[in-house]
Amino acid sequence: MTNYWLVLGIAVFTEIVWALSLKYVQIHPNPWVIGGSVGLSFLNMALLSFAMKGIPAGTAYAIWTGLGAVGVTIGGIIWFGDPLGPVRVFFLALIVTGVVGLKMAS
């Protein structure tokens, strides 16, 4: 039995790494970094598409984009010095709350 939720989790992780790789490409542009970013993009889409076989499309997409946005924001803070403040934390918490709600409703 395929665990579509696990595949979606891997897709979220891949989404985060892919989005952060776009920022890294701007800092260190070279063919390997660009190629890795393109490869992650294809893998990312394939994983999301596969997860949608067993999860409603709207739920899968909302979780993928929501957790991806949270992960990229945290990664940007850690690795690229992006700003962090109480308002950003509040809205990130709202995203996570929405994702949890969608999971519980599925």
Whole-structure pTM over 0.85, yes or no? yes
Contact 48, 8 (CB under 8 A): yes
Taking alpha carbons only, the member of 79, 83, 81, 80 closest to residue 92 is 83
CA distance 98 to 86: 19
**Tokens matching residue 102:** 């969608």
82-96 pLDDT, tens digit each: 999 999 999 999 999
Is residue 10 helix, strand or coil? helix
15-55 pLDDT, tens digit each: 999 999 999 999 999 999 999 999 999 999 999 999 999 99
